[in-house]
Amino acid sequence: MARKKTTISVIKADIGSCPGHVVVHPHLEDVACGFMQEAKDDGLINDFRVTHCGDDLELIMSHRRGVDSEDIHKLAWKTFEEGTKHAKSLKLYGAGQDLLIDAFSGNIKGMGPGVAELEFTERPAEPIVVFMMDKTEPGAFNLPVFRMFGDPFSTAGLVIDPSMHAGFMFEIWDIMEHKKVMMKSPEELYDILALIGAKSRFVIKRIFPKKGKLPPKEAVAAVSTEKLAHIAGEYVGKDDPVAVVRAQSGLPALGEVLEPFAFPHLVSGWMRGSHNGPLMPVSLTDAKCTRFDGPPRVLALGFQVNDATLVGPVDLFDDPAFDPTREKAAEIADYMRRHGPFEPHRLPLSEMEYTTLPKVLSKLSSRFGAME
């Protein structure tokens, strides 16, 4: 059923890469483009872009079918399934890695791929940024998304622009207990930070406007929060997340959306999903993780949405102004690497639960005796 609002769906999966876990093979992107073009010709979607961030194949779709549309999720699933066949025929590494459940049953969530979707009434001009990360987890978005919508030292508009002065609503998920809470910024700023600072458990899922020109029920930012290990029950790679953020005219300006990434904060992931390391903002050319399978990357593509079609992309971190951040990230990567297998480079035991380490430790358990 066609509806008036526009939906942006970003759905991604690691279905195989070359070599090892480095980068999506161009053939897989071609296969995905073929599927997307067919869906566009059939009127299922209005527009699309296919890209990658490291070993993750990224489908960016615009349509009018709303979030959680079975048709759109099925299209993404079929695309990944078909891509997996090609990945297998090329003997790519980790072919079909993120397709954890066999049969599609209406919604791709909980099946392995990551999903970030926004449905909104298009403004006269509608800028959006699609963020894609590799070798990290959904909580990596907590700090930058908080800064965009909650930190007046980062987003000047929170102070200067009367239409942003009231602040925003944060929808925060407890991904361990499967509960969620809505919180008000700035009124509950300290409580919000008390939660989202624990980024392996509490993640920002969506941001909503509070007052002003924008409909308060239409989210202005959404982050994928799928946790592969929770679905598979064991380590099957990190949950490299994606996000969609709307910008300008009562929302953070495009530069305010990007500004938090000028600080290469520490995120968990990197080698074997088991290490803390800096998040490096990169252009598409550098969206491939090589050093120690990292360090973790973030790619940002900017679009204007025009009547549910996509104008762009512009590769937003392809800007020398982010060179110092990249240099700092490389410097931090060196510093962290020198800790070798020691915390805090290696993740704390609580976060290693879903890696291969418990198997190593269980072998030693019978050798432990009582302490004096």
The single residue of 14, 47, 98, 240 carrying the catalytic annotation is 14
Please indicate whether residue 213 is annotated as part of the active site: no
From 74, 90, 94, 198, residue interacting with Mg ion (rule: CB under 5 A): 94
What is the C-alpha to C-alpha distance for residues 36 and 218, in angstroms, rounded to an integer?
26
What is the C-alpha to C-alpha distance for residues 288 and 97, in angstroms, rounded to an integer?
17
Cα→Cα distances 208→169, 175, 203, Å:
5, 20, 15
Which of Mg ion, ligand F6R, none interacts with 137 (beta carbon under 5 to 8 A by kind)? none
Cα→Cα distances 177→168, 180, 230, 369, 370, Å:
24, 9, 11, 34, 34
CA-closest candidate to residue 242, choices 14, 10, 81, 72: 10
Contact pattern from residue 280 through residue 309 relative to ligand F6R, giving x for each residue in contact according to CB under 6 A and a dash for the rest = -------------x----------------
Asked if residue 346 binds ligand F6R (CB under 6 A), the reply is no
Please indicate whether residue 238 is annotated as part of the active site: yes
From 21, 52, 64, 199, residue interacting with Mg ion (rule: CB under 5 A): 21
Asked if residue 237 binds ligand F6R (CB under 6 A), the reply is yes
Cα→Cα distances 125→1, 45, 101, 116, 311, Å:
25, 20, 39, 21, 11
Asked if residues 102 and 45 have their Cβ atoms less than 8 Å apart, the reply is no
Give me the sign of the Cα torsion angle 315, 316, 320, 322. Answer: negative
Asked if residue 351 binds ligand F6R (CB under 6 A), the reply is no
Cα radius of gyration rounded to whole Å, the chain: 20
The single residue of 47, 205, 235, 239 carrying the catalytic annotation is 235
Asked if residue 34 binds ligand F6R (CB under 6 A), the reply is no
One-letter amino acid of 370: A
The single residue of 135, 227, 238, 288 carrying the catalytic annotation is 238
Asked if residue 134 binds Mg ion (CB under 5 A), the reply is yes
Taking CB under 6 A as the binding criterion, the range among 3-11, 176-184, 268-276, 307-315 that sits at the site for ligand F6R is: 268-276
Binding site for ligand F6R (CB under 6 A): 20-21, 135, 237-238, 269, 271-273, 293
| Residues noted as catalytic | 14, 235, 238
Binding site for Mg ion (CB under 5 A): 14, 21, 54-56, 94, 134, 240
